[in-house]
Amino acid sequence: MSSQSTADTMPTLAELLSSKITNKSILLVQPGNNIGGFSFCGLNIVDGDVTEYNVFDDVGVELRSYYDYIIIHGFLFRKISQEPSIVDNLNARCDVLLIDVLGEGYSLQDELFSTLNFNLIAHNQVKILAPFDDYSGLDTIYPNISFFKYPFAGPKNFCSKYNHMIHINYTNHGTRALVGLKWNDSKKEKLFTCLNYNPHPHRVIMVDSLSKNGLLNSGYVSLVCVDGKFSNITHTDSDGNQYHTRIKNSKIIIDIDNDYEERFSLQPFNRNAYIDVVTETDHGIMRFMTEKSMKPFYNLQLPIIFGYTGIVDDLRKFGFDMFDDIIDHSYDKLKVSDTVTVKSNPSLITYSYNHIAFEKAKMISEELIRLSKLDIHSIYLDLKERLIHNQNLLYKLTIEDNDLVEDYGRWIFGDDITFNKNDYIEKVYI
């Protein structure tokens, strides 16, 4: 389809992809089940023997005694495992029990060890759909569980054209996909961005390190705190963007006002900074990579990524330029055995956590101080083609060459699933 197509001939979001399941019976346990629908890289099942059952609202609904597949989201299954009485009325057994954690998974190791109770639903086999190609040995520990493995699975899920978490706020249409920012030669206002939403412990540690090293004024920094018991100092930058500095126990936290859902998309602050200091959702054992690690590439920024050990090296292997001639990524090699125990700092709003976070935050802050002494604008201009290379590579991997949804559909259903696709997509720059 030509890019000149009119709005009425463009397929709607849900018409981009749909699927049909034959010869199998499926029970979709609600709420939160993404697999049957379209949103968040679902299969959009439009034809098949599919039953939806809400464990909270459908009490008394008559179900079959057997299904080929019972599919449930990981969040709900976690809740059911903690409160088994929720499924007292769900007496069906199945061949395959599928747990969908495609949009999560960073805590999968702990949950398999201590939380998830697979005996609550009678089954012959368990499949876990998660965004990994490496399960950190879980597949060896649990040989009776089938784990979905897929290269670059996190970004292919979170940045997919079937998951408009990144795209929809800027494209305003399901068939348009965001490439990223347009190149701009103008001098930028700040050295870096470090935008956080939920105050995960390593994020609090990172922001605390930036504060202690006098770096807050060199960047756009955000971290939302949940108890609301803060004194507020408001200031406005030269572009009229307003910030709130919240102070508690000598701990400085900056909260950039922003709509909750829009935090997943690109932020206007990034176009005014050279470097993006990414604090991933988690930096633990599981190799969990989300759209957060892709934002420097969308935004034509230099990347510093606080994630699992080796995340920077993994991005190099997929072809991304990590600008090793400019940035020292030694922090990415830190392992627990490389560090010494750091006693808890009572001024931090945090929890008992792996002390590697303190060491990484310290190294990243020191690197930012070093970079602040360079002529970063001249360096940035010289890197134009390399930055654009990263942006184009991201689009290729997550939009043009992304068959994640079809491949996981076949992993679940084999030859019993067929797809109807509309591959039309239009590139959008902002």
Q: Give Cβ neighbours of residue 425 (< 8 Å, ≥ 6 apart).
A: 161, 175, 176, 177, 399
**Comparing C-alpha atoms, which of 124, 80, 71 is closest to residue 102?**
71
SS3 87: helix
Tell me how far apart the alpha carbons of residues 344 and 284 are, in angstroms, rounded to a whole number: 18
Q: Annotate 228-242 with DSSP letters as a single string.
A: ---EEEEEE-TT--E
H or E stretch covering 370? helix 356-372
Tell me how far apart the alpha carbons of residues 153 and 375 are, in angstroms, rounded to a whole number: 37
- pLDDT value, residue 228: 44
pLDDT truncated to tens, each residue of the chain (430 aa)? 333 444 456 666 677 899 999 999 999 999 999 999 988 899 999 999 999 999 998 766 789 999 999 999 999 999 999 999 999 888 899 999 999 999 999 999 989 988 999 999 999 999 999 999 999 899 999 999 999 999 999 999 999 999 878 887 777 777 889 999 999 999 999 999 998 877 777 887 888 889 889 998 899 888 766 554 333 434 444 455 554 544 443 344 455 544 444 667 788 778 899 999 999 999 888 999 999 999 999 999 999 999 999 999 999 999 999 999 999 999 999 876 554 444 444 443 333 345 688 889 999 999 999 999 999 999 999 999 999 999 999 999 999 999 999 999 999 999 999 999 888 788 999 9
H-type helices in 90-197, by residue range? 108-114, 138-141, 153-158, 168-171
Structural tokens at position 191: 């050295």
Query: Between helices 201-212 and 356-372, what is the axis angle to 10°?
Result: 40
- Other Cβ atoms less than 10 A from the Cβ of 137: the count is 10
Q: Give Cβ neighbours of residue 415 (< 8 Å, ≥ 6 apart).
A: none
**Residue-level length of the chain:** 430
Residues 315, 297: contact at Cβ < 8 Å? no
CA dihedral 393, 397, 399, 400 (to 10 degrees): 90
Tell me how far apart the alpha carbons of residues 63 and 65 are, in angstroms, rounded to a whole number: 6
CA 410 to chain centroid, in Å, comes to 23
- Other Cβ atoms less than 10 A from the Cβ of 43: the count is 26
In single-letter form, the type of residue at position 119 comes to N
- pLDDT value, residue 251: 42
Q: Annotate 379-408 with DSSP letters as a single string.
A: HHHHTHHHHHHHHHHHHIIIIIT--HHHHH
Q: What is the DSSP letter of 140?
A: H
